[in-house]
Amino acid sequence: MSQYELKEYFQNKLSLIREEQENLTNRIQVKEILPQEKAAIFYSNWQYMAILGLLTISKFRTPTAISQRLVIKEDTALKALQQLNELGLIIKKGMEWLPCENTIHISRNSPFNSLNHANWRNLAVQNAFLNNTDDIHYTSVCSISKNDFNQIKDLVFKLIDKSRDIVDPSIEEEIYCLTCDWFKV
């Protein structure tokens, strides 16, 4: 094997290792990946994921509380709860709805991944117009070296990992959304 072939071999090997390391599905320990037919429904609207998140907070376990918190009709909240129940993601106990113990993750290869991102980015854009001083909305378009691009990419992965370390043991009091993008234009 020539020096050139050897170099190319190891560069390909390193690329595969880096790609595997950057795959968020591999970075999340406890997860459930929904079957296609369930994913099609769950990722069709941001409200399903938001409601599932809200149900981890005891004061948001009724259609009335959910509708008030998300500013949606109570009938819409009830229909979403029934749909989540049919998907096997929540159960009804008395007058309250409770989440099943699942961390749901969507693979980047899923046909619903882009839809999920679009739903939450659209909600972020709507939220930006509210000008809430507690919220962060940041956009930066810059020209930098490929090496610096990769350094920032690594920082983004560290942010994701660190945020999960904080979220996992955190006591549920409110629901928040972190959207993160870093891409070549």
Q: Give the pLDDT score at 182.
A: 86
What's the whole-model pTM score? 0.78
Angstrom distance (rounded) from CA 83 to CA 90: 9
Residue pointed to by tokens 């079957």 = 35
Residues 6+ apart with CB under 8 A from 137: 124, 127, 128
For tokens 């234009």, what's the residue?
A: 185
**Banded model confidence at residue 101, pLDDT cuts 50, 70, 90:** confident
Catalogue the long-range contacts made by 166-174 (C-beta closer than 8 Å, 24 or more residues apart).
172/56, 172/57, 173/57, 174/57
pLDDT mean across residues, the chain: 88
Residue 27 pLDDT > 70, yes or no? Answer: no
Residue type, 146: K
Q: Give pLDDT tens digits for 127-137.
A: 999 999 999 99
pLDDT at 122 over 70: yes
Residue 23 clears pLDDT 60, i.e. is over it: no
| C-alpha of 41 from chain center | 16
Token code pair at residue 165: 């370390």
Residue 65's contacts (CB-CB under 8 Å, 6 or more residues apart) are 54, 59
- What is the phi/psi pair of residue 132, to 5°? -75, 125
DSSP of 20-69: HHH-HHHH-SS-BPPPHHHHHHHTT-HHHHHHHHHTTSGGG-SHHHHHHH
How would you class 44 by CB atoms within 10 Å of its CB: exposed for 0-12, middle for 13-18, buried for 19 or more?
middle
Map residue 90 onto helix, strand or coil: strand
> pLDDT category, 21, cuts 50, 70, 90?
low
Query: Which residues are bridge partners to 99 per DSSP?
Result: 90
Residue 52 or residue 15, greater confidence:
52
**Least confident range of 13-17, 45-49, 141-145, 174-178:** 13-17
Element housing 157 (H / E): helix 146-167
What is the band of 104 on the pLDDT scale with cuts at 50, 70, 90?
Answer: confident
- Domain ranges in the chain are 31-167
The one-letter amino acid code at 53 reads: G
**Answer CATH for 31-167 from 1.10.1370.30, 1.10.10.10, 1.20.1560.10, 2.30.30.30:** 1.10.10.10
Find how far residue 156's CA is from the centre of its chain.
14
Looking at residue 174, the DSSP 8-state letter turns out to be S
